[in-house]
């Protein structure tokens, strides 16, 4: 059965133009950056409340969900890589199975989180700390959003599969639908109905459920998957399951390292008071916006690399690597300049509390440095993800975490919150350096021996 190639139909040629790359990357940038906009809007809306503890409560609640969902972030990343390789090889059966297998995992993990919601919230609150008021806001936020866990994880699979299939516009439409709905409900529930933290959580829950229904409707409409034609015995085929398990294991461990870093960062900020916690939360939201913008280019490269491997096309692989570097560098310079010139104005969008805004401004310089030191590691993760070679990603993050812990131990007692942010920047730089060291090995492995998607 033949499928429509959509935006990737011309990428079987031996090269990819700047225009083709941008036509692929721009929708992915918009789609990707819409994810942290959810957190940014939540923070900005709550920032209109007169209580800094509410911002801190939403920040801690968001960290809990980021912890749970980032642990399973491989559902999107590996789904995209395996689907792109199957698409490049024109293997229709594997295209369908690359959707079904991770979807089963997503639903199982989602219901697991719901079942064990009480231990999760109690343990994480005790670890992350914060005042009694902040903890109460965090528990209120968590108790509502947790019911969206199966839907949030299912959406990872839907977006990853659409991206891998080259259905970039559909992935964009799905993400925009969810985020616009969330923004509208945020404004209605919080500013209109004065529901506070509960309103923010309810808005996100409704948006997550609606996005999954919308995304599945789009997939069925395109007829890229015909469930009646699936051989169900293939779902449990040992070889592809083992390969998926290996890639997902490495991406899972990579995420563990990221979450250890983020958890330590947040907990240390919380120990310095509610205002510092709130300021750090705002700066982290800005960091996520930049990281996801880089992620759009990384996802474009991931699709091209997956297709190149499926087609055994070394020229497209090399071109994707070059374009990823060029647009990563350009974006890093632009973002650093924007933060340098417009940083205070950007901060004012997130909160009206003078003390929080002044504290965030004190540490704004770290957001100027982040894109310069961090872009290459994020870009390379797209290359390695498209190749479904996650071991190097895992190892590079582990080495960067060791460096982060060393810097935290040495500098925070002396420089306090500046020490925390310096450790964060060193982590981002180390991530870029260590992953770069694995590129020669990846090049030798991919095209010096036959590769089967």
How far is the C-alpha of 144 from the C-alpha of 204, rounded, in Å?
Answer: 9
How far is the C-alpha of 286 from the C-alpha of 265, rounded, in Å?
Answer: 15
Q: pLDDT value at position 228?
A: 61
Please compute the mean of the pLDDT values over residues 397-409 and round it to a whole number.
94
Checking if the pLDDT of 49 tops 70, the result is no
Range of the domain at 134: 11-447
How far is the C-alpha of 402 from the C-alpha of 385, rounded, in Å?
Answer: 23
How far is the C-alpha of 239 from the C-alpha of 278, rounded, in Å?
Answer: 47
Checking if the pLDDT of 403 tops 90, the result is yes
Q: Compare 76 and 204 and report the one with higher pLDDT.
A: 204
pLDDT level of residue 398 (50, 70, 90 thresholds): very high
How far is the C-alpha of 43 from the C-alpha of 59, rounded, in Å?
Answer: 8
Number of domains in the chain: 1
Q: pLDDT value at position 38?
A: 65
Tell me, yes or no, whether 5 lies in a domain: no
Q: What is the pLDDT of residues 51-74, one digit of tens each?
A: 667 777 777 777 778 767 767 777
Cα-flanking dihedrals φ and ψ of residue 314, to 5°?
A: -70, -30
Cα-flanking dihedrals φ and ψ of residue 11, to 5°?
A: -95, 15
Tell me, yes or no, whether 397 lies in a domain: yes
Please compute the mean of the pLDDT values over residues 160-175 and round it to a whole number.
83
Tell me, yes or no, whether 4 lies in a domain: no
Tell me, yes or no, whether 265 lies in a domain: yes
How far is the C-alpha of 315 from the C-alpha of 325, rounded, in Å?
Answer: 16
Please compute the mean of the pLDDT values over residues 262-283 and round it to a whole number.
83
Q: Is 213 helix (H, G, I), strand (E, B) or coil?
A: helix
Long-range contacts of 229-235 (CB under 8 A, 24+ apart): 229/1, 229/96, 230/93, 230/96, 230/97, 230/100, 231/93, 234/93, 234/97, 235/97, 235/100, 235/101, 235/104
Worst-scoring range by mean pLDDT, 109-123, 324-338, 339-353? 339-353
Tell me, yes or no, whether 70 lies in a domain: yes
Contact in structure between 408 and 260 (CB atoms under 8 Å)? no
Contact in structure between 205 and 148 (CB atoms under 8 Å)? yes
Q: What is the pLDDT of residues 190-235, one digit of tens each?
A: 878 878 788 888 998 999 999 999 998 888 887 766 666 666 666 6
Q: What is the pLDDT of residues 94-152, one digit of tens each?
A: 778 888 888 888 999 999 999 998 888 888 777 766 677 777 888 888 889 999 999 99
């Amino acid at each position: 059965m033949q499928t429509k190639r959509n935006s990737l139909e011309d990428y079987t040629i031996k090269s990819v133009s700047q225009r083709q790359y941008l036509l692929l990357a721009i929708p992915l940038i918009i789609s990707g950056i819409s994810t942290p906009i959810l957190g940014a809007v939540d923070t900005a809306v709550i920032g209109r409340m007169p209580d800094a503890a509410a911002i801190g409560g939403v920040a801690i609640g968001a960290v809990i969900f980021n912890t749970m969902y980032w642990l399973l972030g491989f559902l999107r990343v590996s789904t995209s890589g395996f689907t792109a390789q199957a698409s490049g090889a024109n293997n229709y059966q594997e295209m369908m199975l690359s959707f079904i297998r991770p979807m089963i995992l997503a639903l199982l993990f989602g219901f697991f989180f719901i079942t064990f919601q009480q231990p999760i919230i109690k343990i994480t609150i005790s670890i992350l700390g914060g005042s009694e008021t902040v903890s109460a806001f965090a528990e209120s936020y968590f108790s509502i959003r947790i019911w969206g866990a199966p839907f949030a994880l299912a959406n990872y699979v839907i977006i990853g599969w659409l991206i891998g299939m080259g259905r970039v516009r559909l992935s964009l439409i799905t993400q925009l639908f969810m985020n616009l709905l969330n923004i509208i409900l945020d404004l209605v529930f919080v500013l209109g109905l004065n529901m506070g933290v509960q309103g923010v959580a309810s808005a996100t829950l409704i948006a997550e459920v609606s996005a999954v229904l919308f995304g599945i409707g789009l997939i069925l409409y395109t007829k890229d998957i015909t469930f009646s034609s699936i051989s169900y015995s293939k779902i449990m085929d040992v070889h592809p399951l083992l390969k998926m398990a290996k890639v997902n294991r490495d991406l899972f461990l990579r995420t563990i390292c990221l979450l250890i870093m983020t958890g330590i960062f947040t907990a240390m900020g919380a120990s310095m008071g509610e205002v510092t916690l709130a300021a750090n939360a705002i700066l982290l939201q800005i960091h996520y916006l930049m990281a996801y913008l880089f992620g759009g280019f990384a996802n474009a490269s991931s699709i091209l690399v997956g297709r190149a491997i499926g087609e055994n096309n070394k020229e497209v692989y090399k071109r994707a690597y070059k374009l990823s570097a060029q647009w990563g560098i350009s974006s890093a310079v632009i973002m650093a300049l924007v933060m340098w010139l417009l940083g205070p104005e950007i901060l004012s969008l997130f909160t009206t509390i003078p003390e929080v805004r002044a504290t965030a401004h004190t540490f704004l310089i770290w957001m100027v440095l982040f894109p310069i030191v961090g872009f290459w590691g994020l870009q390379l993760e797209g290359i390695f993800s498209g190749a479904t070679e996650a071991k190097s990603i895992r190892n590079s993050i582990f080495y960067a975490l060791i460096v982060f812990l060393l810097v935290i131990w040495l500098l925070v007692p002396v420089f306090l919150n500046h020490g925390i942010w310096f450790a964060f920047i060193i982590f981002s730089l180390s991530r870029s350096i260590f992953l770069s060291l694995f590129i020669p090995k990846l090049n030798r492995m991919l095209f010096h021996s036959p590769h089967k998607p």
